[in-house]
């Protein structure tokens, strides 16, 4: 009797497993998932991430998601558990404060990894990366040497050329004095050296891709737009203590508060950040564990949903920034308080702090920049 029943039980178990697989991987993502109402960038996005992963591997993710936004609207499903958004209310839900600040995707863990390199890149690219890593490690070693005397003990920080940085200097001196009696020798292990080198490399890479590009184009645009450069120079020279260079070693330093709220300076910074600070990356976040989340009109999202946006497109919304590909700082000066608030809401950028204001002030309080030959430069 048992031998007659067992084959049927096995068949029923097989059918049950197949039904469970179909429900989990086909029925649920297409019909029952909280994301099921969203338009998909590609039909395969309902059931697999292979489509978007293929585009990422080919380097065409930005283009295909941009096309999906154009065809489907501001909310697009890229995979069973991944969406891209191009709407400010949704962005504020994901990149906000407190509960509206979702967890970073594991993608960011690559910036802290020191794994063994796999040379699947073109030889020239691989060699360039290797040289950059060696350079970062060399800088760590130079810093270690500068902080030690011939016996390997930490030198008096006051003897190091830190420059005139009272706040940072005081903090570093206090910290070193507290640790020196406990640990007179400060030698990095090989792992610690890699950690420090990784931090240096991350900062260099991030700065080059964002601030370096933005600042280069800002100076270029100011050099082309002499009318705006003239207004900027007059504004910077009109503050109580302008940043004037008076000789080989002497210069006057403005109070940072005096550089806050200068209309022309603020408009130049914001417009430059809007156009040139963003790389075409999705900046992914993940809905946090142990609770349901809401993003825009999407409610009751489970943990583990990958969500991202392109700051590049947020900063080029033609309804907020007419003629969005044109560098026009004066757009930030008109339209009244409501229009100004809307522009600030849609500006998705970072890097416009006090140090940038000070840098611009130091240049354009003392110098005038021009483009030598416009034909040698690409169109802005």
Q: Which of 106, 114, 129 is nearest to 196 (CA)?
A: 114
For 225-228, the CB contacts below 8 A with 24+ separation are 225/327, 226/370, 228/264, 228/268, 228/329, 228/330
Confirm if 282 and 61 have CB atoms less than 8 A apart: yes
d(CA 227, CA 81): 50
Helix H or strand E encompassing 357: helix 354-364
Residue with tokens 């270690």: 144
Confirm if 309 and 348 have CB atoms less than 8 A apart: yes
Spans of all domains in the chain: 1-32, 201-278+322-347+351-373
Residue with tokens 């993502």: 29
Distances 319 to 313, 323, 342 between C-alpha atoms, Å: 12, 9, 10
Counts for the chain of helices (H) and strands (E), in that order: 14, 7
Confirm if 342 and 317 have CB atoms less than 8 A apart: no
Q: Which of 336, 288, 342 is nearest to 317 (CA)?
A: 342
Question: How does DSSP classify residue 117?
Answer: P
pLDDT value at position 342? 94
Q: Which two tokens stand for residue 159?
A: 């003897």
d(CA 243, CA 332): 25
Q: Which of 297, 237, 241, 298 is nearest to 265 (CA)?
A: 237
Q: Which of 67, 66, 76 is nearest to 38 (CA)?
A: 76
Judged by DSSP in three states, 78 sits in strand
Tens-binned pLDDT, residue by residue, of the chain (380 aa): 556 676 667 777 787 888 888 777 777 788 788 898 899 999 999 999 999 999 999 999 999 999 999 999 999 999 999 999 999 888 888 887 666 678 888 776 665 544 444 455 566 666 776 777 777 777 777 776 766 655 555 555 445 554 444 455 555 556 655 655 544 445 666 666 777 777 777 777 767 677 888 999 999 999 999 999 999 999 999 998 888 877 655 556 788 888 988 999 999 999 999 998 877 788 899 998 888 888 888 888 999 999 999 989 999 999 999 999 999 999 999 888 999 999 999 998 877 778 889 899 999 999 999 998 767 666 55
pLDDT value at position 182? 46
Instruction: For residue 72, count CB atoms less than 10 angstroms from its CB and return exposed for 0-12, middle for 13-18, buried for 19 or more.
Output: middle
- For Cα atoms 351, 354, 360, give the angle at the middle one, nearest 5 degrees: 85
Confirm if 200 and 139 have CB atoms less than 8 A apart: yes
What is the β-pairing status of strands 103-104 and 285-286?
Answer: antiparallel
């Amino acid at each position: 009797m048992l031998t007659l029943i067992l084959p049927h039980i096995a068949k029923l178990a097989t059918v049950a497993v197949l039904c469970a697989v179909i429900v989990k991987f086909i029925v649920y993502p297409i019909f029952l998932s909280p994301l099921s109402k969203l338009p998909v960038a590609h039909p395969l996005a309902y059931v697999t991430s292979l489509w978007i992963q293929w585009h990422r591997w080919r380097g065409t993710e930005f283009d295909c998601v941009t096309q999906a936004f154009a065809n489907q609207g501001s909310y697009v499903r890229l995979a069973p558990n991944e969406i891209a958004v191009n709407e400010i209310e949704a962005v504020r839900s994901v990149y906000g404060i407190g509960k509206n600040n979702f967890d970073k995707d594991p993608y960011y863990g690559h910036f802290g990894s020191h794994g063994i390199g796999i040379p699947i890149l073109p030889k020239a690219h691989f060699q360039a990366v290797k040289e950059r890593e060696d350079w970062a490690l060399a800088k760590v070693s130079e810093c270690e040497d500068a902080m030690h005397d011939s016996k390997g003990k930490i030198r008096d920080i006051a003897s190091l050329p830190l420059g005139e940085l009272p706040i940072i200097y005081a903090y570093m001196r206090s910290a070193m004095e507290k640790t020196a009696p406990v640990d007179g020798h400060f030698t990095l292990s090989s792992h610690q050296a890699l950690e420090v080198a990784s931090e240096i490399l991350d900062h260099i890479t991030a700065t080059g891709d964002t601030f370096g590009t933005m600042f280069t184009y800002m100076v270029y645009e100011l050099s082309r737009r002499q009318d705006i450069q003239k207004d900027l120079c007059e504004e910077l020279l009109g503050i109580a203590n302008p940043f004037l260079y008076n000789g080989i070693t002497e210069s006057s330093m403005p109070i940072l508060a005096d550089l806050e709220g200068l209309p022309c300076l603020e408009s130049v910074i914001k417009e430059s950040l809007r156009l040139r600070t963003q790389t075409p990356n999705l900046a992914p976040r993940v809905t946090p564990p142990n609770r349901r989340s809401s993003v825009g009109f999407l409610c009751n999202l489970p943990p583990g949903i990958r969500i991202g946006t392109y700051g590049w497109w947020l900063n080029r919304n033609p309804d907020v920034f007419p003629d969005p590909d044109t560098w026009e700082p004066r757009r930030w000066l008109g339209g009244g308080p409501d229009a100004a608030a809307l522009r600030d809401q849609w500006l998705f950028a970072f890097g416009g702090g006090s140090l940038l204001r000070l840098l611009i002030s130091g240049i354009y309080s003392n110098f005038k920049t021009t483009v030598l030959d416009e034909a040698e430069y690409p169109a802005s």
